[in-house]
Amino acid sequence: MYASKAGFSTGIVTTTRVTHATPAAAYANMLHRDWESVGPSNKRGFHCVDAAAQLLTNASHVNVIMGGGAAEFYGPSDNTTFTMKGKRSDSRNLLQEWKDMQTEMNRKHVLLHTNDEFKRTDWSSVDYVLDMH
């Protein structure tokens, strides 16, 4: 966040899931590394937010986010461009929420899912990228 506030572009790029414990350390606070798309039940009054949801709230300033783990961002019944079933147990589609958030903030953004989309992107017209596989 400090680099972004100073005017620098920032990014999180990984060959693993974006919500995996190692890259998620850049934006998420979790008590257990497996809370990627589902936090624990709200026992004892705790409110624990999973890593995928924290990406939207805590990493909105990050210009480039690229990696795997797209299934952590949508539910099993969502119709997305992915063939794999989503893992979220709530009704949220965080990929769509990310797009909506970028639009509301009047940011030039792109959500990518495939290598072809990546190759066709006009990078001079984009400031924020979410590339999920």
Task: Please check whether residue 115 is in contact with residue 126, taking contact to mean a CB–CB distance below 8 angstroms.
Answer: no
Q: Where are the alpha helices (DSSP H) in 44-105?
A: 51-58, 94-104
First to last CA, the chain: 25
The answer to whether the annotation marks 22 as part of a ligand binding site is yes
d(CA 52, CA 44): 23
d(CA 109, CA 117): 13
Task: Please check whether residue 14 is in contact with residue 67, taking contact to mean a CB–CB distance below 8 angstroms.
Answer: yes
Binding residue ranges: 20, 22
Binding residue ranges for Mg(2+): 20, 22
